[in-house]
Amino acid sequence: MTPPDAARLLFPTAGQVSAADRAMRYHTDPRTIWLTGLSASGKTTLAIALERHLFESGRAIARLDGDNLRTGLSAGLGFSAEDRTENVRRAACAARLFNEAGLMCVVALISPRREMRAMAADIIGAERFALVHVSTPLSVCAARDPKGLYKKAMRGELDRFTGVSAPYDEPAAPLTRVDASRHTVAEGVAQVVEALSARFSATTTTG
């Protein structure tokens, strides 16, 4: 966050190319599709497939993933509540920049608390923000455990691990819910695209 004493020295400028200009040029209507869910729920897998589908449909699109962010933009952040909130803030700011540049953006981030996701929606803009809950049950995520994190958390080796020693607030009214234990990746992509088409212009998601 910008320190108060520094904020008075900043003078943001507006360019002569608007987000609407870019959307017209790229034939897209920029949105951020924010995938939230537990670790190992299938967020990243779904995000990668969704990105590919939208790209092949002619969309200009970018993808932000939690682990990737932590090796770059969010390097140095830990897993305290404050650091997790800051990680979400940075991801939302990056997604907004992509949207303003005329690109759609898919974000895959645990973002466990409601207030974090509300902050992301506020930064990006509610009119652009589409929340998807990857709702794979905790028991399935823990059984998958591809990184061995649940085992470590259950042995007490990891503090503040979402779903085990830290809470996850399920979204009350997401755009849609995708349970990766019940649906294939292709089915999940189709479900998200259908939900996007119902909420936004059909030209955003079909091509």
Instruction: For residue range 137-172, list pLDDT tens digits in order.
Output: 999 999 999 999 999 999 999 988 999 999 999 999
Q: Give the whole-angstrom CA distance, residue 28 versus residue 40.
A: 31
CATH no., domain 26-200: 3.40.50.300
Rounded average pLDDT over 30-48: 97
Catalytic residue, candidates 111, 139, 165, 201: 111
Instruction: Report yes or no: 107 and 48 within 8 Å, Cβ to Cβ.
Output: no
**pTM above threshold 0.85:** yes
Please check whether residue 67 is in contact with residue 163, taking contact to mean a CB–CB distance below 8 angstroms. no
**CA gap 166, 85 in Å, rounded:** 14
Give me the helix-helix angle, 81-100 and 19-26, nearest 10°.
60
Phi, psi of 64 (to 5 degrees): -120, 130
Residues in the chain: 207
Q: Is the pLDDT of residue 69 over 50?
A: yes
Distance CA(155)–CA(124), nearest Å, equals 38
Residue 158 burial (CB < 10 Å; 0-12/13-18/19+)?
middle
For residue 5, pLDDT beyond 90: no
The kind and range of the H/E element at 104 are strand 104-108
pLDDT > 90 fraction of the chain, expressed in percent and rounded: 74
111 given a catalytic annotation: yes
Burial class of residue 138 in the structure, from the number of CB atoms within 10 Å of its CB (0-12 exposed, 13-18 middle, 19+ buried): middle
Beta-carbon contacts of residue 170 (< 8 Å; ≥ 6 apart): 133, 135
Question: 105-119 pLDDT, tens per residue?
Answer: 999 999 999 999 999
